[in-house]
Amino acid sequence: MNLIAIDIGNTTIKVAFYLNDDEKLLKTAAGGSGEMESQLAEILTECWDQSPLVESAKEPVKECVLVASSVKPEWTELVRGVVKDELDQELLVIGTDVPLPIETGVDDALAVGTDRLCAAAAAYAVVEGAVVVADFGTAVTIDLVDEDGVFVGGTITPGFDLSLAAMHTRTARLPKVEMQRPLSAYGVNTEEAMRAGVYWGAVGLLEALCRKYAEQIGHWPQVILTGGAAKIIKEDCEFVDSWVSNLALRGIIIAYKKYIYENADIADRSAKGDKKKKS
């Protein structure tokens, strides 16, 4: 399958181009910059130019589809506009044009965030069993998928940068600090103390939640880390089984494949039903 997957987050827009299911390109447009729209147009055009043509078509037609997961509605419309203006194509959005990729046990599936559901679907597709998906981005989400592939829920806490920024803006003397792995478990100055508190607090939270989830399902689940900040923390999480940098993008492919396969199955059953009626 040829697909351009677009993960619209709170601070960045990630774009991956998959040719026959193999990732050929992965780039990020930085949010909040005046150049984000032009960056996005350049990235999408580069992906589209690499997309193959449909061999049997009389007119030149690209054999590729653009599918997005989004947690930021205003950026969804921006991306939709760029796709239309630059490529003359329609953008399919998960949760609107494409059904959610995983069954849920939550009160409102659409309120969860399609990025979390796509990441959960991708994780379960690999593990095929109970799995915890910890996404370290602008916010930290730690979600549980049960043995049957049902997204049962999770937790949301501030990410590293949000936590550090909150301490700086809501106190009189705590400085502005950039996140990096702390030198030790305790800080010998204010900056290191802030980093250590945020960092080790996140490690402890993840381990504690995995233990709580294990108590609920009866065994320790597989644990997968993802998100932009996951690479900072992964070395100190011995209980984590794997780190996948862009799990939500892979989940976008799963969501679209599930959608087209289910539609094909419905069409096939409908055709068989029509034949039975005629006979």
Question: Which residues are the active-site residues?
Answer: 115
CA distance 200 to 186: 9
CA distance 118 to 101: 6
Torsion angle, CA of 268/124/74/46, rounded to 10 degrees? -80
Tokens linked to 7: 């993960």
Is the Cβ–Cβ distance between 150 and 144 less than 8 Å?
no
CA distance 84 to 45: 11
Q: Which helix (H) or strand (E) holds 154?
A: strand 150-158
Q: Is the sign of the CA dihedral 80, 254, 132, 136 positive or negative?
A: negative
Is the Cβ–Cβ distance between 74 and 87 less than 8 Å?
no
CA distance 173 to 128: 49
3-state helix, strand, coil in the chain (%, to 5): 45, 25, 30
